[in-house]
């Protein structure tokens, strides 16, 4: 059997977000010299700030990154068929002129190969690799109150001592694989989507199965449906249909981008004014304040434009009011069902009654996904009605007794998102309290970047921040700039310690919960609230107030002498 689904520890992934990078920052955003050196043996390494992470978060914070074997974070590991970003050009990139001025994209939604080339370009411009430690996993981090520093141990035996620890693990650092009976017995080829082999798998003429219908499962299925040819067979094993919107992919020319770059600064600044950090946001108007004809016209316009516009450029109450949401769902359903000829398939992929409010689960962007199911050898199987009983040497057995014989299986069952990567590291704060223990029954942060009793410890693009509800680079840039300002403030004031106050994180948790309750996402089980992981607390894991309000809050905290933090 050829397979790669991770290490024995259930759900573990050797991820870019769990690797160590060290970089002394100089220049305008310098935090070098925030604290004096810590004395110990010469075999260990002393740094002012240590970054755990290798994607956009790790890179932007210090203009350096630490990864598995190369730069890119999620785009280093995710190379499965059809993998591409769903944030539209040009906002999914660094807003640094020295990076974008001589870089051109080929499409509005770049694939993983182009994103990997982009990170190589970033390295050429910023000189990241020379200050990067690759293939190094952080196993533990302990705060020493006698030195006011973190002791960080790695699986290579290397030990770092750092005044400040920043975890930029991202929200998809720990993959999740359900504990299926007989998983190891399958004799075919099996890979988890986030640890796909470098060499492509030729599936022509083969029986393939895609397990999971999240964004990844959708992308793999629509690619494999083309690649299997007429003699192959594809089955999508689905618990809940993904309410996909059309991507509307477009090619880009260098000439067009030369003109666009004159507007980049304006566009990048515009992100801060829009809820999700895109170049558009929800409208002020309400669904039923307009006539049916006006609603239909707007829906058609957004559908034609593609991307996330039908979700994030719609009426203000579409994701907040059940009736308004149902109106949008009905339009979506009718559009999709027109494309699927087989009624049984249509009922599973675009049911008459909504499986959940539109947008309550992560919406995928598709490129011909639904049309592929008009082929007789491309099918969808409902594992919510007929769950998987076990894996067998020849394939997957479901509760209706069917053995689905397969040659290749793609495991696209998602991640222990938002908190999984952080809790996977043994991080100890005051009195040797483990972060995983503190967050065992619920997540507590301040501003989605710090947690009380874990001094000089921060995280970006993580829990209780805009994270999954925002364009990644926009959120990370906002947090990174704010953290640099805080560290510079500490240096200027001679502070050695910074700690979030208990009252501040309790109030922040209330804020996060209240904002979540104003929309419809909280009504549905999903990775947005941790309910995809057995035993994980069900709670809002993302800040739902949008980037403008989040930015205003960060500015207010800074302007009031970093209220909510205690510095010494």
Rounded to two decimals, the pTM is: 0.90
Q: What is the pLDDT of residue 137?
A: 82
Residue-level pLDDT at 52: 78
Q: How many residues does the chain have?
A: 568
CA distances from 125 to 26, 182, 231, 553 (A): 16, 48, 47, 33
Closest CA to 509 of 557, 460, 451: 451
Distance CA 394, CA 407 (A): 8
Helix (H) / strand (E) containing 50: strand 45-52
What pLDDT sits at residue 5? Answer: 43
Asked if 66 and 19 touch (Cβ cutoff 8 Å), the reply is yes
**Residue 480 to residues 5, 26, 367, 410, 533: CA-CA distances in angstroms?**
33, 15, 34, 35, 29
Residue bearing tokens 């209780």: 464
Helix (H, G, I), strand (E, B) or coil at 192: strand
CA distance 178 to 414: 10
Report the DSSP pairing between strands 378-382 and 233-238: parallel
* Residue 442, both tokens: 């619920």
How is residue 473 written in tokens?
């680079």
pLDDT digits (tens, 9 = 90+) for 513-548: 999 999 999 999 999 999 999 999 999 999 999 999
CA atoms within 13 A on the CB side of 195: 23
pLDDT at 12: 31
- Cα separation, 313 vs 551, whole angstroms: 20
- What is the token pair recorded at 349? 């992929």
Residues in the chain where the model's pLDDT stays below 70: 1-43, 53-68
CA 520 – CA 91 distance, rounded (Å): 26
237 closest CA partner among 362, 398, 5, 356: 398
Give the right CATH number for 45-174+417-567 from 3.50.50.60, 3.40.50.300, 3.40.50.12780, 3.40.50.2300.
3.50.50.60
Q: How far apart are CA 285 and CA 269, in angstroms?
A: 24
What is the reported pLDDT for 34? 34
- Tokens 């999700």, residue? 276
The residues near 565 (Cβ < 8 Å, ≥ 6 apart) are 446, 450, 486, 498, 499, 500, 501, 504, 557
Question: Tell me: the pLDDT tens digits for 201-255?
Answer: 999 999 999 999 999 999 999 999 999 999 999 999 999 999 999 999 999 999 9
Please give the structure tokens belonging to residue 51. Answer: 């970054």
Predicted pLDDT at 43:
60
Q: What is the residue extent of each domain of the chain?
A: 45-174+417-567, 189-264+274-411
The pLDDT assigned to 68 comes to: 59
């Amino acid at each position: 059997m050829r397979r790669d689904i991770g290490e024995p520890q259930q759900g573990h992934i050797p991820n870019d977000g769990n690797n160590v990078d060290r970089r002394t920052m100089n220049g305008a955003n310098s935090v070098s010299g925030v604290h004096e050196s810590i004395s110990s043996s010469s075999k260990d390494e002393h740094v002012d700030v240590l970054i755990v992470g290798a994607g956009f978060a790790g890179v932007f914070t210090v203009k350096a990154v630490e990864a598995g074997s190369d730069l890119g974070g999620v785009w280093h590991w995710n190379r499965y068929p059809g993998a591409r970003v769903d944030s539209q050009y040009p906002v999914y990139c660094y807003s640094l002129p020295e990076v974008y001025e001589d870089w051109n994209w080929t499409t509005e939604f770049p694939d993983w190969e182009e994103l990997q080339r982009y990170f190589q370009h970033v390295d050429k411009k910023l000189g990241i690799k020379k200050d990067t430690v690759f293939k190094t996993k952080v196993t533990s981090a302990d705060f020493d109150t006698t030195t006011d520093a973190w002791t960080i141990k790695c699986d290579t035996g290397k030990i770092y001592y750092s005044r400040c620890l920043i975890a930029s693990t991202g929200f998809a650092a720990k993959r999740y694989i359900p504990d299926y009976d007989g998983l190891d017995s399958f004799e075919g080829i099996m890979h988890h989507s986030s640890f796909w082999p470098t060499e492509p798998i030729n599936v022509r003429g083969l029986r393939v199965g895609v397990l999971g219908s999240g964004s990844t499962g959708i992308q793999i299925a629509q690619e494999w449906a083309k690649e299997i040819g007429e003699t192959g067979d594809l089955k999508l094993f689905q618990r809940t249909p993904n309410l996909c919107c059309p991507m509307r992919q477009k090619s880009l020319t260098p000439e067009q981008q030369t003109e666009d770059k004159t507007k980049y600064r304006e566009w990048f600044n515009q992100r801060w004014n829009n809820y999700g950090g895109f170049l558009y946001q929800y409208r002020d108007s309400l669904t039923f304040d307009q006539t049916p004809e006006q609603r239909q016209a707007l829906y058609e316009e957004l559908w034609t434009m593609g991307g996330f516009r039908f979700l994030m450029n719609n009426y203000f109450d579409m994701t907040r009011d059940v009736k308004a949401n149902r109106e949008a769902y009905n339009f979506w359903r009718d559009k999709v069902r027109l494309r699927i000829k087989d009624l049984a398939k249509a009922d599973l992929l675009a049911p008459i009654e909504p499986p959940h409010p539109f947008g309550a689960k992560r919406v995928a962007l598709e490129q011909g996904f639904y049309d592929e199911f008009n082929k007789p050898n491309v099918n969808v199987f409902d594992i919510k009605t007929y769950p998987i009983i076990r894996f067998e040497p020849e394939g997957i057995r479901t509760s209706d007794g069917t053995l689905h014989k397969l040659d290749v299986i793609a495991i696209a069952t998602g991640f222990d998102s938002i908190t999984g990567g952080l809790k996977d590291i043994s991080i100890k704060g005051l009195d040797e309290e483990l972060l995983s223990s503190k967050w065992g029954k619920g997540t507590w942060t301040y501003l989605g970047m710090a947690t009380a009793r874990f001094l000089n410890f921060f995280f970006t693009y993580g829990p209780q921040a805009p994270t999954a509800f925002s364009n990644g680079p926009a959120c990370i840039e906002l947090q990174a700039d704010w953290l640099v300002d805080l560290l510079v403030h500490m240096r200027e004031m001679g502070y050695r310690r910074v700690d979030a106050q208990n009252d501040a994180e309790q109030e922040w948790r209330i804020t996060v919960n209240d904002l979540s309750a104003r929309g419809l996402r909280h009504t549905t089980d999903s990775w947005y609230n941790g309910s995809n992981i057995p035993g994980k607390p069900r709670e809002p894991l993302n800040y739902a107030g949008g980037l403008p309000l989040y930015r205003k809050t960060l500015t207010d905290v800074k302007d009031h002498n970093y209220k909510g933090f205690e510095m010494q």
